[in-house]
Amino acid sequence: MITTAVNLQAPLYDILAAKAGVGVGAATLAFACYVAGVMPVLLGLNGLADRVGPKPLIIVALLLCLSATALTLLMPGLITLGVARFLLGIGTGLTSAVAPGYMHQLLNSDDSRMATTYVTSSTALGFGLGAAVTSLFILHTPSVTPPSLWLYLGVGTIALVAVMPLKNIAPAVTQSAMWRLPGYPPGTLSFGLAILLAWATVGLVIAILPSTLSQHGLTPWSGFATFGICSCGVLFQPWARALAPVKATVLGLMILPLAYGLIAWGALQGSLIAVLLGAVAASSACYGFIYLGGLSGVLAIAGPSSTQTSAGYFLMAYVGFSLPVITTGALVDSVGHVAALTLFGVALLVGAIATVSLLLIGPNKSSKRLTAIRQP
Protein backbone atom coordinates (compact mmCIF):
# COMPACT_ATOMS: atom_id res chain seq x y z
CA MET A 1 0.00 0.00 0.00
CA ILE A 2 2.89 2.37 0.67
CA THR A 3 4.41 2.00 -2.79
CA THR A 4 0.96 2.00 -4.42
CA ALA A 5 0.48 5.58 -3.21
CA VAL A 6 3.76 6.80 -4.72
CA ASN A 7 2.65 6.93 -8.37
CA LEU A 8 -1.10 7.17 -7.82
CA GLN A 9 -1.12 10.68 -9.33
CA ALA A 10 1.37 9.95 -12.14
CA PRO A 11 -1.20 10.14 -15.00
CA LEU A 12 -2.28 13.56 -13.68
CA TYR A 13 1.09 15.34 -14.02
CA ASP A 14 0.39 16.85 -17.43
CA ILE A 15 -3.17 17.81 -16.47
CA LEU A 16 -2.02 19.53 -13.27
CA ALA A 17 0.79 21.35 -15.09
CA ALA A 18 -1.64 22.62 -17.73
CA LYS A 19 -4.07 23.72 -15.01
CA ALA A 20 -1.26 25.66 -13.31
CA GLY A 21 -0.18 27.21 -16.61
CA VAL A 22 3.36 25.82 -16.40
CA GLY A 23 5.44 23.46 -18.51
CA VAL A 24 6.96 20.03 -18.20
CA GLY A 25 9.93 21.33 -16.23
CA ALA A 26 7.71 22.39 -13.33
CA ALA A 27 5.99 19.01 -13.35
CA THR A 28 9.35 17.24 -13.10
CA LEU A 29 10.30 19.42 -10.13
CA ALA A 30 7.13 18.33 -8.35
CA PHE A 31 7.96 14.74 -9.27
CA ALA A 32 11.50 15.06 -7.86
CA CYS A 33 10.20 16.22 -4.47
CA TYR A 34 9.84 12.49 -3.77
CA VAL A 35 13.63 12.16 -3.82
CA ALA A 36 13.94 15.18 -1.50
CA GLY A 37 11.84 13.22 0.99
CA VAL A 38 13.39 9.79 0.65
CA MET A 39 17.11 10.62 0.60
CA PRO A 40 17.46 12.32 4.03
CA VAL A 41 15.58 9.41 5.60
CA LEU A 42 17.70 6.77 3.87
CA LEU A 43 20.96 8.48 4.80
CA GLY A 44 20.14 10.15 8.11
CA LEU A 45 17.61 7.96 9.92
CA ASN A 46 18.83 4.44 9.27
CA GLY A 47 19.36 3.74 12.96
CA LEU A 48 15.80 4.69 13.86
CA ALA A 49 14.43 1.14 13.51
CA ASP A 50 17.01 -0.08 16.04
CA ARG A 51 15.59 2.39 18.54
CA VAL A 52 11.83 1.96 18.08
CA GLY A 53 11.41 -1.23 16.03
CA PRO A 54 10.01 -1.47 12.47
CA LYS A 55 6.26 -1.47 13.19
CA PRO A 56 6.00 2.21 14.26
CA LEU A 57 7.88 3.24 11.12
CA ILE A 58 5.46 1.33 8.90
CA ILE A 59 2.47 2.88 10.69
CA VAL A 60 3.93 6.38 10.26
CA ALA A 61 4.62 5.63 6.59
CA LEU A 62 1.01 4.54 6.01
CA LEU A 63 -0.26 7.68 7.74
CA LEU A 64 1.99 9.82 5.54
CA CYS A 65 0.70 8.08 2.40
CA LEU A 66 -2.92 8.57 3.47
CA SER A 67 -2.23 12.23 4.29
CA ALA A 68 -0.52 12.83 0.95
CA THR A 69 -3.42 11.27 -0.95
CA ALA A 70 -6.01 13.23 1.04
CA LEU A 71 -4.07 16.43 0.37
CA THR A 72 -4.22 15.92 -3.40
CA LEU A 73 -7.95 15.32 -3.12
CA LEU A 74 -8.67 18.41 -1.04
CA MET A 75 -6.37 20.83 -2.90
CA PRO A 76 -5.50 19.42 -6.33
CA GLY A 77 -2.64 21.34 -7.89
CA LEU A 78 1.02 21.13 -8.83
CA ILE A 79 2.32 22.65 -5.59
CA THR A 80 0.16 20.26 -3.60
CA LEU A 81 1.53 17.43 -5.72
CA GLY A 82 5.08 18.44 -4.80
CA VAL A 83 4.22 18.46 -1.09
CA ALA A 84 2.50 15.09 -1.43
CA ARG A 85 5.49 13.63 -3.26
CA PHE A 86 7.75 14.84 -0.46
CA LEU A 87 5.59 13.10 2.16
CA LEU A 88 5.49 9.94 0.05
CA GLY A 89 9.28 10.00 -0.18
CA ILE A 90 9.58 10.12 3.59
CA GLY A 91 7.14 7.22 3.90
CA THR A 92 9.02 5.10 1.39
CA GLY A 93 12.34 5.88 3.05
CA LEU A 94 11.01 4.84 6.46
CA THR A 95 9.93 1.41 5.23
CA SER A 96 12.51 0.50 2.58
CA ALA A 97 15.23 -0.49 5.04
CA VAL A 98 13.03 -2.34 7.55
CA ALA A 99 10.54 -4.16 5.31
CA PRO A 100 12.64 -7.24 4.37
CA GLY A 101 13.75 -7.92 7.95
CA TYR A 102 10.28 -7.34 9.39
CA MET A 103 8.71 -9.62 6.80
CA HIS A 104 11.28 -12.30 7.66
CA GLN A 105 10.34 -12.06 11.34
CA LEU A 106 6.61 -12.20 10.63
CA LEU A 107 6.98 -15.24 8.36
CA ASN A 108 9.07 -16.95 11.05
CA SER A 109 11.06 -18.80 8.40
CA ASP A 110 14.72 -19.79 8.32
CA ASP A 111 14.91 -18.91 4.63
CA SER A 112 15.19 -15.13 4.19
CA ARG A 113 14.78 -15.43 0.41
CA MET A 114 11.00 -15.87 0.71
CA ALA A 115 10.67 -12.64 2.67
CA THR A 116 12.90 -10.81 0.20
CA THR A 117 10.85 -12.14 -2.72
CA TYR A 118 7.59 -10.99 -1.11
CA VAL A 119 8.98 -7.53 -0.44
CA THR A 120 10.57 -6.97 -3.86
CA SER A 121 7.53 -8.31 -5.71
CA SER A 122 4.97 -6.30 -3.74
CA THR A 123 7.13 -3.18 -3.96
CA ALA A 124 7.46 -3.39 -7.74
CA LEU A 125 3.76 -4.18 -8.15
CA GLY A 126 2.76 -1.26 -5.95
CA PHE A 127 4.86 1.32 -7.81
CA GLY A 128 2.94 0.60 -11.01
CA LEU A 129 -0.47 -0.42 -9.68
CA GLY A 130 -1.53 3.00 -8.40
CA ALA A 131 -0.82 4.68 -11.74
CA ALA A 132 -2.64 1.95 -13.68
CA VAL A 133 -5.76 2.20 -11.50
CA THR A 134 -5.82 5.99 -11.90
CA SER A 135 -5.55 5.57 -15.68
CA LEU A 136 -8.52 3.21 -15.66
CA PHE A 137 -10.67 5.84 -13.96
CA ILE A 138 -9.59 8.88 -16.01
CA LEU A 139 -10.09 6.91 -19.23
CA HIS A 140 -13.74 6.72 -18.23
CA THR A 141 -14.10 10.19 -16.69
CA PRO A 142 -11.23 12.72 -16.89
CA SER A 143 -10.68 14.40 -13.51
CA VAL A 144 -7.90 15.80 -11.32
CA THR A 145 -9.52 13.97 -8.38
CA PRO A 146 -10.29 10.53 -9.82
CA PRO A 147 -12.03 7.86 -7.71
CA SER A 148 -8.74 5.97 -7.44
CA LEU A 149 -7.67 8.48 -4.78
CA TRP A 150 -10.80 7.81 -2.72
CA LEU A 151 -10.34 4.08 -3.27
CA TYR A 152 -6.81 4.29 -1.94
CA LEU A 153 -7.96 6.12 1.19
CA GLY A 154 -10.41 3.30 1.91
CA VAL A 155 -8.04 0.42 1.23
CA GLY A 156 -5.13 2.20 2.90
CA THR A 157 -7.18 2.70 6.07
CA ILE A 158 -7.96 -1.02 6.09
CA ALA A 159 -4.24 -1.75 5.72
CA LEU A 160 -3.48 0.58 8.63
CA VAL A 161 -5.99 -1.23 10.84
CA ALA A 162 -4.55 -4.59 9.75
CA VAL A 163 -1.02 -3.54 10.75
CA MET A 164 -2.02 -2.51 14.28
CA PRO A 165 -2.26 -6.04 15.79
CA LEU A 166 1.08 -7.16 14.34
CA LYS A 167 3.89 -7.66 16.82
CA ASN A 168 6.78 -5.24 16.87
CA ILE A 169 10.40 -6.37 16.94
CA ALA A 170 12.14 -5.31 20.13
CA PRO A 171 14.63 -2.48 19.65
CA ALA A 172 18.20 -3.68 19.21
CA VAL A 173 20.50 -3.77 22.22
CA THR A 174 23.41 -2.56 20.08
CA GLN A 175 22.07 0.38 18.12
CA SER A 176 23.57 1.39 14.79
CA ALA A 177 24.49 4.96 13.97
CA MET A 178 21.64 7.16 12.78
CA TRP A 179 23.71 8.66 9.96
CA ARG A 180 24.90 6.31 7.22
CA LEU A 181 27.36 7.89 4.80
CA PRO A 182 27.50 6.31 1.33
CA GLY A 183 30.63 4.44 0.33
CA TYR A 184 32.10 3.35 -2.99
CA PRO A 185 34.72 0.60 -2.63
CA PRO A 186 36.76 -0.04 -5.81
CA GLY A 187 34.60 -1.72 -8.43
CA THR A 188 31.20 -0.54 -7.14
CA LEU A 189 30.90 2.79 -8.97
CA SER A 190 30.15 1.11 -12.31
CA PHE A 191 27.16 -0.68 -10.76
CA GLY A 192 26.01 2.67 -9.35
CA LEU A 193 26.23 4.26 -12.79
CA ALA A 194 24.14 1.41 -14.20
CA ILE A 195 21.28 1.92 -11.74
CA LEU A 196 21.53 5.70 -12.27
CA LEU A 197 20.84 5.20 -15.99
CA ALA A 198 18.07 2.70 -15.30
CA TRP A 199 16.17 4.83 -12.82
CA ALA A 200 16.62 7.95 -14.95
CA THR A 201 14.67 6.11 -17.64
CA VAL A 202 11.98 5.12 -15.14
CA GLY A 203 11.66 8.70 -13.94
CA LEU A 204 11.34 10.01 -17.49
CA VAL A 205 8.51 7.58 -18.26
CA ILE A 206 6.64 8.54 -15.09
CA ALA A 207 7.11 12.32 -15.18
CA ILE A 208 7.59 13.34 -18.83
CA LEU A 209 5.87 10.71 -20.95
CA PRO A 210 2.32 11.90 -20.04
CA SER A 211 3.00 15.28 -21.67
CA THR A 212 4.41 13.61 -24.79
CA LEU A 213 1.42 11.31 -25.06
CA SER A 214 -0.93 14.28 -24.60
CA GLN A 215 0.01 15.45 -28.11
CA HIS A 216 -1.86 12.39 -29.39
CA GLY A 217 -4.66 12.42 -26.82
CA LEU A 218 -3.15 9.43 -25.00
CA THR A 219 -2.41 10.96 -21.59
CA PRO A 220 -4.96 8.75 -19.78
CA TRP A 221 -2.98 5.71 -20.93
CA SER A 222 0.27 6.89 -19.34
CA GLY A 223 -0.50 5.05 -16.12
CA PHE A 224 -0.21 1.74 -17.95
CA ALA A 225 3.25 2.75 -19.19
CA THR A 226 4.18 3.48 -15.57
CA PHE A 227 2.84 0.07 -14.58
CA GLY A 228 4.82 -1.54 -17.38
CA ILE A 229 8.16 0.03 -16.48
CA CYS A 230 7.78 -0.28 -12.69
CA SER A 231 6.00 -3.58 -12.16
CA CYS A 232 6.77 -5.95 -15.02
CA GLY A 233 10.45 -6.20 -14.13
CA VAL A 234 9.56 -8.62 -11.34
CA LEU A 235 8.78 -11.20 -14.04
CA PHE A 236 12.44 -11.13 -15.12
CA GLN A 237 13.98 -11.35 -11.66
CA PRO A 238 14.32 -15.18 -11.70
CA TRP A 239 16.47 -14.88 -14.84
CA ALA A 240 18.45 -12.06 -13.26
CA ARG A 241 19.16 -14.18 -10.18
CA ALA A 242 20.47 -16.99 -12.38
CA LEU A 243 23.20 -14.76 -13.85
CA ALA A 244 26.39 -13.50 -12.29
CA PRO A 245 26.10 -9.81 -11.22
CA VAL A 246 28.29 -8.42 -14.02
CA LYS A 247 26.53 -10.46 -16.71
CA ALA A 248 23.07 -9.47 -15.45
CA THR A 249 23.99 -5.79 -15.31
CA VAL A 250 25.60 -5.80 -18.76
CA LEU A 251 22.55 -7.54 -20.23
CA GLY A 252 20.30 -4.90 -18.69
CA LEU A 253 22.45 -2.10 -20.10
CA MET A 254 22.23 -3.66 -23.56
CA ILE A 255 18.43 -3.83 -23.35
CA LEU A 256 17.88 -0.36 -21.87
CA PRO A 257 18.78 1.96 -24.81
CA LEU A 258 16.82 -0.21 -27.25
CA ALA A 259 13.79 -0.25 -24.98
CA TYR A 260 14.00 3.51 -24.45
CA GLY A 261 14.20 4.06 -28.20
CA LEU A 262 10.98 2.10 -28.63
CA ILE A 263 9.28 4.09 -25.86
CA ALA A 264 10.37 7.46 -27.25
CA TRP A 265 9.46 6.58 -30.83
CA GLY A 266 6.07 5.27 -29.76
CA ALA A 267 5.31 8.35 -27.65
CA LEU A 268 6.31 10.77 -30.41
CA GLN A 269 4.40 8.84 -33.09
CA GLY A 270 1.36 8.16 -30.93
CA SER A 271 1.86 4.38 -30.98
CA LEU A 272 0.57 3.11 -27.65
CA ILE A 273 1.58 -0.49 -28.38
CA ALA A 274 5.20 0.57 -28.95
CA VAL A 275 5.21 2.55 -25.71
CA LEU A 276 3.84 -0.35 -23.66
CA LEU A 277 6.16 -2.93 -25.22
CA GLY A 278 9.12 -0.61 -24.68
CA ALA A 279 8.08 -0.04 -21.06
CA VAL A 280 7.99 -3.78 -20.35
CA ALA A 281 11.37 -4.26 -22.04
CA ALA A 282 12.85 -1.36 -20.06
CA SER A 283 11.42 -2.80 -16.85
CA SER A 284 13.28 -6.05 -17.47
CA ALA A 285 16.46 -3.98 -17.23
CA CYS A 286 15.50 -1.37 -14.63
CA TYR A 287 13.85 -3.64 -12.05
CA GLY A 288 15.24 -6.96 -13.24
CA PHE A 289 18.75 -7.37 -14.57
CA ILE A 290 20.34 -4.04 -13.58
CA TYR A 291 18.63 -3.68 -10.21
CA LEU A 292 19.33 -7.18 -8.91
CA GLY A 293 22.64 -7.58 -10.72
CA GLY A 294 23.95 -4.24 -9.54
CA LEU A 295 22.85 -4.65 -5.93
CA SER A 296 24.31 -8.17 -5.75
CA GLY A 297 27.51 -6.88 -7.32
CA VAL A 298 28.10 -4.07 -4.85
CA LEU A 299 27.24 -6.26 -1.86
CA ALA A 300 29.66 -8.96 -3.06
CA ILE A 301 32.46 -6.38 -3.26
CA ALA A 302 31.55 -4.53 -0.07
CA GLY A 303 32.11 -7.23 2.53
CA PRO A 304 31.78 -5.74 6.03
CA SER A 305 31.02 -2.25 4.63
CA SER A 306 27.79 -3.42 2.97
CA THR A 307 25.65 -0.81 4.76
CA GLN A 308 27.62 2.12 3.40
CA THR A 309 27.98 0.50 -0.02
CA SER A 310 24.25 -0.14 -0.43
CA ALA A 311 23.65 3.47 0.63
CA GLY A 312 26.01 4.58 -2.13
CA TYR A 313 24.21 2.38 -4.64
CA PHE A 314 20.80 3.84 -3.82
CA LEU A 315 22.19 7.37 -3.72
CA MET A 316 23.22 6.91 -7.35
CA ALA A 317 19.79 5.44 -8.12
CA TYR A 318 17.93 8.43 -6.72
CA VAL A 319 20.28 10.91 -8.37
CA GLY A 320 19.26 9.26 -11.64
CA PHE A 321 15.61 9.36 -10.62
CA SER A 322 15.73 13.14 -10.23
CA LEU A 323 18.44 15.23 -11.92
CA PRO A 324 18.27 13.77 -15.48
CA VAL A 325 14.47 13.92 -15.34
CA ILE A 326 14.45 17.57 -14.27
CA THR A 327 17.01 18.42 -16.95
CA THR A 328 15.02 16.66 -19.66
CA GLY A 329 11.83 18.36 -18.52
CA ALA A 330 13.50 21.76 -18.86
CA LEU A 331 14.73 20.76 -22.33
CA VAL A 332 11.19 19.80 -23.36
CA ASP A 333 10.04 23.32 -22.47
CA SER A 334 12.91 24.97 -24.35
CA VAL A 335 13.52 22.80 -27.45
CA GLY A 336 10.47 20.53 -27.66
CA HIS A 337 9.73 16.87 -27.09
CA VAL A 338 11.55 15.46 -30.11
CA ALA A 339 14.88 17.15 -29.40
CA ALA A 340 14.70 16.60 -25.64
CA LEU A 341 13.86 12.89 -25.87
CA THR A 342 16.52 12.44 -28.54
CA LEU A 343 19.17 14.10 -26.38
CA PHE A 344 18.19 11.91 -23.44
CA GLY A 345 18.45 8.85 -25.67
CA VAL A 346 21.92 9.83 -26.89
CA ALA A 347 23.09 10.44 -23.32
CA LEU A 348 21.60 7.10 -22.27
CA LEU A 349 23.36 5.25 -25.08
CA VAL A 350 26.73 6.89 -24.37
CA GLY A 351 26.31 6.25 -20.66
CA ALA A 352 25.38 2.60 -21.22
CA ILE A 353 28.40 2.00 -23.49
CA ALA A 354 30.75 3.67 -21.00
CA THR A 355 29.33 1.71 -18.07
CA VAL A 356 29.54 -1.61 -19.91
CA SER A 357 33.17 -0.79 -20.69
CA LEU A 358 33.84 -0.12 -17.01
CA LEU A 359 32.19 -3.38 -16.03
CA LEU A 360 33.97 -5.53 -18.62
CA ILE A 361 37.35 -3.95 -19.31
CA GLY A 362 37.72 -1.21 -16.72
CA PRO A 363 40.11 -1.30 -13.77
CA ASN A 364 37.78 -3.45 -11.67
CA LYS A 365 39.89 -5.82 -9.61
CA SER A 366 36.79 -7.66 -8.50
CA SER A 367 35.29 -8.19 -11.97
CA LYS A 368 36.71 -11.66 -12.52
CA ARG A 369 35.49 -12.81 -9.14
CA LEU A 370 32.07 -11.24 -9.66
CA THR A 371 31.65 -12.87 -13.06
CA ALA A 372 31.88 -16.23 -11.35
CA ILE A 373 29.44 -15.37 -8.55
CA ARG A 374 25.81 -16.31 -9.05
CA GLN A 375 23.17 -14.39 -7.20
CA PRO A 376 21.49 -16.09 -4.24
Same-domain pairing of 118 and 208:
no
Q: Which domain range does residue 218 map to?
A: 181-376
Burial 264-284 (b: 16+ CB within 10 A, else e): bebbbeebbebbbbbbbbbbb
pLDDT at 278: 97
**Which domain-ending residue is among 149, 179, 209?**
179
**Residue type (1 letter), 33:** C
Average pLDDT of the segment spanning 205-211:
95
Report the distance separating Cα 211 and Cα 193, nearest Å.
27
pLDDT at 174: 56
Same-domain pairing of 212 and 95:
no
What CATH code is carried by the domain that includes residue 232? 1.20.1250.20
User: Could you write out the DSSP letters of every residue in 230-296?
Assistant: HHGGGGGHHHHHTS-HHHHHHHHHHHHHHHHHHHHHHHHHT-HHHHHHHHHHHHHIIIIIHHHHHHH
Same-domain pairing of 244 and 202:
yes
Report the distance separating Cα 344 and Cα 330, nearest Å.
12
**Which domain-ending residue is among 157, 179, 201?**
179
Report the distance separating Cα 277 and Cα 266, nearest Å.
9
pLDDT digits over 135-180, tens only?
A: 999 999 889 999 999 999 999 999 999 989 888 876 655 556 666 6
Which of 52-61, 177-186, 209-218, 360-369 shows the lowest per-residue confidence on average (mean pLDDT)?
360-369
pLDDT at 299: 78
**Which domain-ending residue is among 154, 179, 204?**
179
Same-domain pairing of 253 and 223:
yes
Same-domain pairing of 218 and 358:
yes
Same-domain pairing of 219 and 330:
yes
State the total domains in the chain: 2
Classified as helix, coil or strand, 183 is coil
Same-domain pairing of 231 and 160:
no
Checking if the pLDDT of 196 tops 70, the result is yes
pTM, entire model: 0.87
Same-domain pairing of 169 and 242:
no
Same-domain pairing of 333 and 253:
yes
Most confident of 1-15, 231-245, 267-281: 267-281
Same-domain pairing of 150 and 218:
no
Same-domain pairing of 193 and 274:
yes
* Cβ–Cβ < 8 Å for 275, 225: yes
Same-domain pairing of 112 and 246:
no
* Cβ–Cβ < 8 Å for 2, 52: no
